[in-house]
């Protein structure tokens, strides 16, 4: 029996911004799949192209100055690239929903949260005002807003940061989308609220069967939420693997550097964290060689002459690195 096609297929995605100083290659040849019901983590430092990749999939990159090209962005068997704005509006919210980092700038400050949730329900599901209001109250209850029948008439500024993020999630899941994209959705929240939001997303994923793309720089969140991880650096996808492989057998020097910079409870307080020396490359003047080369302590002679190929280092685990790190892990064990 032939395997089922992925829910989302991204092939050779490139998003460039034309500026006075030159062309910024924010995303440079990214390809990946997202299966139905899967949670995919996208990790990397600020400016690596995580958010731009998601906005490109949603076709929310302003043009000009942005220019998005790809061999395909196929969702549910349909290529999104040729769709015009009216056609994409039927996809956004209804089939693909996005939760942004700062809900205060994403929510309209002069409209009640109930109005903003109801708008999507009436637009995509054709509900009446009465039906939409009842559904909005239920959604607020699902995401943990106390007394939703009273809070539905409140404005965004009347909610705390964590509660505003819950409202954003309620808006995102209102139409039962097949894919939920969360862009740094817990970054501005304290640790306790972060944990509550993550538990909420895990529960909603279990109940609805939706796929999740979780964009973050927090490797701890990824470990507890995601099935697979894509590691990005300087606009490129440098490693992709099941979450356990990433943490126990990383196959790219940058991934290893990220893990070594994260404190671990099982190694004691005296374990020294190892920072990644240097700075990310200029995205305007990008070399064809490995973008991590100037900061890499595992570089080989070939790294200075040939760009790395994306290779399968083990089943379902790929990396764009010349160093055979799997051999290093085998020798250590």
Alpha-carbon gap, residue 69 to 73, rounded angstroms? 9
* Residues 61-70: b if buried by 16+ CB within 10 A, e if exposed: beeeebebeb
Using the structure block, give the residue that is written with the tokens 């009347």.
158
Give CA separation, 105 vs 55, 152, 240, 319, in Å.
16, 19, 32, 36
- Report the relative pairing of strands 211-216 and 228-233 from DSSP bridges: unpaired
Question: In which element (H, E) is residue 313 found?
Answer: strand 310-314
User: What would the DSSP string read from start to end of 171-214?
Assistant: HHHTT--SEEEEESTTTTS-HHHHHHHHHHHHHHHHHH--EEEE
Question: In which element (H, E) is residue 129 found?
Answer: helix 129-142
* Residues 249-270: b if buried by 16+ CB within 10 A, e if exposed: bbbbbbbbbbeeeeeeeeeeee
Residue-by-residue pLDDT tens, the chain, 333 positions = 345 789 999 999 999 999 998 999 999 999 999 999 999 999 998 889 999 999 999 999 998 889 999 999 999 999 999 999 999 988 988 899 998 877 677 888 999 999 999 998 998 888 999 999 999 999 999 888 899 999 999 999 999 888 888 898 888 888 889 999 998 887 767 788 788 888 888 888 888 889 999 999 888 888 888 999 999 999 999 999 999 999 888 999 999 988 887 776 666 566 677 778 888 888 888 888 899 999 988 888 999 999 998 989 889 999 999 887 766 666 555
């Amino acid at each position: 029996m032939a395997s089922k096609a992925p829910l989302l297929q991204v092939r050779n995605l490139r998003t460039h911004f034309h500026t006075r100083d030159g062309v910024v290659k924010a995303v440079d040849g990214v390809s990946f799949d997202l299966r139905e019901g899967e949670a995919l983590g996208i990790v990397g430092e600020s400016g690596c192209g995580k958010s731009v990749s998601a906005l490109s999939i949603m076709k929310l990159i302003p043009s000009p100055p942005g220019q998005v090209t790809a061999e395909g962005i196929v969702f549910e068997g349909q290529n999104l690239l040729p769709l015009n704005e009216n056609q994409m509006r039927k996809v956004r919210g209804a089939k693909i929903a996005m939760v942004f980092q700062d809900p205060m700038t994403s929510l309209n400050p002069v409209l009640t949260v109930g109005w903003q949730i109801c708008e999507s329900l009436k637009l995509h599901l054709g509900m009446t005002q009465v039906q939409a209001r009842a559904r909005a109250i239920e959604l607020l209850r699902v995401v943990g807003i106390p007394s939703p029948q009273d809070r539905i008439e409140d404005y965004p500024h009347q909610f705390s940061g964590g509660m505003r993020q819950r409202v954003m999630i309620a808006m995102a899941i209102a139409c039962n989308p097949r894919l939920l994209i969360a862009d740094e959705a817990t970054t501005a929240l304290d640790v306790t609220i972060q944990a509550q939001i993550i538990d909420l997303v895990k529960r909603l994923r279990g109940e609805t069967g939706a796929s999740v793309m979780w964009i973050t720089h927090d490797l701890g969140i990824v470990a507890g939420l995601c099935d697979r991880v894509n590691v990005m650096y300087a606009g490129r996808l440098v490693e992709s693997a099941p979450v356990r492989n990433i943490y126990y057998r990383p196959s790219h020097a940058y991934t290893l550097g990220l893990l070594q910079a994260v404190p671990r409870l099982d190694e004691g307080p005296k374990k020294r964290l190892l920072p990644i020396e240097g700075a990310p490359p200029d995205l305007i003047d990008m070399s064809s060689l490995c973008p991590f080369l100037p900061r890499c302590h595992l570089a080989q002679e070939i790294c200075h002459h040939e760009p790395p190929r994306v290779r399968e280092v083990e089943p379902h685990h790929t990396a764009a690195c010349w160093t055979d790190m799997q051999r290093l892990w085998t020798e250590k064990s």
